[in-house]
Amino acid sequence: MLFKALSAAVYGIDANLIDVEVDYSGVVSDQDHFHTVGLPDAAVRESRDRVRAAIKNSGYLIPPTFITINLAPADLKKEGSGFDLPIAVGILGAYGALRVTDLSQFLMIGELGLDGGVRPIPGMLPIAVMAREKSIPNMIVPTANAAEAAVVEGVNVYPVSSLLDVLELLNTSVVGVIQREPFRVATGELLGKLEQFTVDFCDVRGQQTAKRALEVAAAGSHNILMIGPPGSGKTMLAKRLPSILAPLSFEEALETTKIHSVAGVLNGDGLVTQRPFRSPHHTISDAGLIGGGIVPHPGEVSLAHNGLLFLDELPEFPRNVLEAMRQPLEDHTVTIARASMSLSFPARFMLAAAMNPCPCGYFNDKSRECMCTPPMIQRYVAKISGPLLDRIDIHIEVPAVQYKELRGGAAAEGSAQIRTRVMAARQIQKQRFSKAKEKIYANTQMNTRQIRAYCELSADAERLLERAMQQQGLTARAHDRILKVARTIADLEAAESLTVAHLAEAIQYRTLDRSYWS
């Protein structure tokens, strides 16, 4: 007898519909013959042991017989434990344990425990999006995945905790309509939650120039590099940067949640409501940063999509790892090609990096003497290539904090005040790009045509930029990034056009380029 159930497999951040076909001969055998076909990986092949134990411990006895499981289409590689539930339901349906014979209105996915319990699996949000696109009205998912799947409107989500719960749910349905109320979440309330941060910019004493640079970076989503001696507050500033970033829109939250869902790092709320902050250690590999695997999975640059990627001690990262970021910084996407498939992951992130100016950390420090020789400094700095540095919009020096600033009684400006100005600037950008029907969120995403349209310069500003280009030897990419930063500075002041002052501030954020160590 043949019985069919619907499931799904995730590739990249998109899901494919999988038909789970169960065939059994009905002939009792001396040995158990349980075969899975359709390019299954080890986890899928091992499902036969989990499924048989789960069925037995749920009170159903299946005699040894010939069972064949086909996962169609057969040319796609299947991986993971999410096929356990549809396989078990298909076997029980083939043996007559289900009153319903047509499961075309139900999509099931979940891992089974030996006791029949249903465990969560990663990638539920892309599966829910695919179910809506395929007009599959009902999803039966593990309880822990219910909030994630219910974010997608137009699909009825039914959480289950055990195999017996699934059978009861299906056996009480009438013509494909389940009699139980589906699980619901209020996505508006999730996004409306107040973002609370445990850190605040009021904790940082001094460093007014660095704070201003971080405000500009947050307002336009610009990449920023902080250079200074140990203990000057670079890491402290970077960890407080998320507290002044603009909140996620629903579209951005959905994009970010899909990636976190596929990677299996999603929290229990079902929707990412805060911009991600990823801070990998400098021992990370290029596959860990960019993504990889036989079936490619997202790396840190994709997990930081619509958020912040912080690289502390930048020169300590392997050079090949840093060079792998050049293309994502420019194209905002990562394409990982393997022999079996090629997948693309979004990687529109804001890069914040921190580094010492030399191996000992005290080059150009007024209070400590640098013990490094010029060749040592040159080798240290050479770990960061010119093309990568060229893709970072803002380079800012973070000097050591003086004692009077450190012990001063005056309260520093908090994150709430800074964030108010940042959000006002982002609102100006949103209105500008929506009027022009541009599908971008911040100034850093402007292309060459948009830069010419929104960054017009006066004659004095043109001469200033020309002189800076010639004296500092800046590239065409640096030229565009200076104009983007200047546009953001103008937005912070709610200015319609760029002035010489805006451009001068943007240029001085490039003075820590290669000339800093010369």
* Domain CATH for 135: 3.30.230.10
pLDDT at 215: 95
Residue that terminates a domain, selected from 156, 185, 214: 185
What pLDDT sits at residue 514? 47
Q: Are residues 299 and 342 in the same domain?
A: yes
**Token pair belonging to 407:** 């012990």
Q: In this structure, are 151 and 44 located in the same domain?
A: yes
Beta bridge partner(s), residue 162: 117
Distance CA 442, CA 220 (A): 5
455, 458, 464, 465: CA torsion to nearest 10: 30
Distances (CA, A) of 311 to 226, 308, 353: 10, 10, 5
Q: Are residues 145 and 277 in the same domain?
A: no
Residue 250 lies in a domain: yes
Say whether both 401 and 454 belong to one domain. no
CATH number of the domain where residue 305 is located: 3.40.50.300
Q: What is residue 6's predicted lDDT score, i.e. its pLDDT?
A: 94
96 inside domain: yes
Residue 403 pLDDT exceeds 80: no
Domain span at residue 228 reads 201-417
Residue where one domain finishes, among candidates 375, 402, 417? 417
Closest CA to 437 of 456, 422, 450: 450
Q: Is the pLDDT of residue 456 over 70?
A: yes
If asked whether residues 225 and 295 sit together in one domain, one would say yes
| Same-domain status, 136 and 261 | no
Q: In what order do the strands lie in the sheet with 277-278?
A: 277-278, 308-311, 350-355, 224-227, 394-397
- A 10 A CB-CB count for 211 gives 20
Q: Which of 23-37, 318-332, 406-420 has the highest mean pLDDT?
A: 318-332
23: in domain = yes
User: Would you state the torsion angle of the CA atoms of residues 66, 71, 77, 80, taken in this order, to the nearest 10 degrees?
Assistant: -80
**How many domains does the chain contain in total?**
3
Residue 269 lies in a domain: yes
Region class of 221: left (phi > 0), else alpha (psi between -120 and 50), else beta = left
> Do 162 and 294 fall into the same domain?
no
Q: Is residue 12 part of a domain?
A: yes
Residue 100 and residue 165 share a domain: yes
Same domain, 123 and 208: no
User: What are the Cα distances from residue 393, in Å, to 356, 439, 488, 491, 512?
Assistant: 18, 21, 12, 16, 11
Of 349, 142, 352, 135, the residue nearest 259 (C-alpha): 349
pLDDT band at 252 (very low <50, low <70, confident <90, very high): confident
Q: Which residues contact 507 (CB under 8 A, 6 or more apart)?
A: 464, 465, 468, 482
Helix axes 124-133, 250-263, angle to 10 degrees: 120
Which of the residue ranges 38-42, 384-388, 475-479, 511-515 would you say has the lowest mean pLDDT?
Answer: 511-515
- The answer, yes or no, to whether residue 26 has pLDDT greater than 70, is no
Query: Does 426 fall in a domain?
Result: no
Cα 158 to Cα 462: distance, rounded to the nearest angstrom: 62
Residues 365 and 333 in one domain: yes
Out of 160, 185, 210, pick the residue that ends a domain.
Answer: 185
In a domain, residue 441? The reply is no
Q: Within a domain: residue 433? A: no
Does 378 have pLDDT greater than 80?
yes
- DSSP notation for 316-374: GS-HHHHHTTHHHHHHSEEEEE-SS-EEEEE---EEEEEE-SSSSS-TT-SSS-----H
Residue 179's pLDDT band (boundaries 50, 70, 90)?
Answer: confident
Give the span between the Cα atoms of 256 and 258, in whole angstroms: 5
Angle at the Cα of 46 (from 41 to 50), degrees rounded to 5? 140
* 68 and 130 together in one domain: yes
pLDDT of residue 513: 59
Residues 6 or more apart in contact with residue 90 via CB below 8 angstroms:
3, 4, 5, 20, 21, 22, 69
Residue 69 shares a structural domain with residue 208: no
Say how far apart CA 206 and CA 332 lie, in whole Å: 34
Average pLDDT of the chain, as a whole number: 88
Q: Residue 73: is the preceding peptide bond cis (ω within 30°)?
A: yes
